[in-house]
Amino acid sequence: MMKQLPQYRVGRIADADIAALTFQETVHMLEQWAVERKDGYVCICNTHSIVTAGNHSEFHKALTQADLCTPDGMPLVWALKLYGFERQDRVDGPSLMLKLCERAPQTKVSIYFYGSTPDTLDSLKERVEQDYPGIRISGSFSPPFRELHPDEEERIIDEINASGAHIIFVSLGCPKQEIWMHRNKDRIHGVMIGVGAAFDYITGKVRRPPLAIQKLGLEWLYRLICEPKRLWKRYAYNNPMYVYRFLKSYRQNKRLTLYHNRPAGRDIEK
């Protein structure tokens, strides 16, 4: 059964409920949540997320209980457009993070960075403070490449909460970041947003493909060419599996989506 989300439109893609919000609507909603001190977490989903959710029960639960799942990757955007959300555009991690950072000095929202390496975090803070004068970075933490011990995790959660951060950007990669946010959703105060490799993209550690390639839905091919040994197995499995699961559930999910988004149902303020 589709989760009841009264604040916004949503479309079911395979087994995941993806928000049918434009980029600007998403930014506006998250700013409202941050300013109002709402606690919650946001998953930014692509085809890898959809396929992984079908194979990984804890990750599926993390997506199901998220306060918001956005469509990162053009295949998800195209799916929502097929459901009738013609204005849908991509809501990806790096772009969303940069826009929220750009707006932070005006909205008085403070930021916390969780993930990546100490060097990357130093470069990220320098870049963000240079590009967005007046932004308030409440803190940052680079976790070790292992599971945190309970007392370690308790200390870092206390640190995040004591920092007063409104938004916590989490960069641990999928599915680790989504599972981490889900496990701590009742312990961390603020809006957690899992932004994947955004820290590396923003600091220039990893290059993003040209915008034209992103719009064509070929970012996966660009990344495969750059890192063939690491990614070829993932894409050889994920891409066909995503298409299969989407087509298999398309008719049922479209009916479900149209029913839950009928005029008397939920919508956001225009």
Mean pLDDT of 213-222: 78
Q: Is 72 contained in some domain?
A: yes
- Determine the pLDDT at residue 207: 81
Q: Is 134 contained in some domain?
A: yes
Q: Is 124 contained in some domain?
A: yes
Share of the chain above pLDDT 90, in %: 76
Mean pLDDT of 136-156: 91
pLDDT at 158 over 70: yes
pLDDT at 127 over 80: yes
Q: Is 9 contained in some domain?
A: no
Q: Is 266 contained in some domain?
A: no
Q: Which of 1-10, 214-223, 232-241 has the lowest mean pLDDT?
A: 1-10
Average pLDDT, the chain: 90
- Determine the pLDDT at residue 47: 94
- Predicted confidence band of residue 267 (pLDDT cuts 50, 70, 90): very low
Q: Is 111 contained in some domain?
A: yes
Q: Is 42 contained in some domain?
A: yes
HEC string of the chain equals CCCCCCCCCEEEECCEEEECCCHHHHHHHHHHHHHCCCCEEEEEECHHHHHHHHHCHHHHHHHHCCCEEEECCHHHHHHHHHCCCCCCCCCCHHHHHHHHHHHHHHHCCEEEEEECCHHHHHHHHHHHHHHCCCCEEEEEECCCCCCCCHHHHHHHHHHHHHHCCCEEEEECCCCHHHHHHHHCCCCCCCEEEECCCHHHHHHCCCCCCCHHHHHCCCHHHHHHHHCHHHHHHHHHHHHHHHHHHHHHHHHHHHHHHHHHCCCCCCCCCC
Mean pLDDT of 133-153: 92
Mean pLDDT of 11-23: 95
If one counts the domains in the chain, the total is: 1
Q: Is 1 contained in some domain?
A: no
pLDDT tens readout for residues 57-67? 999 999 999 99
Q: Structural domain of residue 130, as residue ranges? A: 16-255
- Determine the pLDDT at residue 222: 76
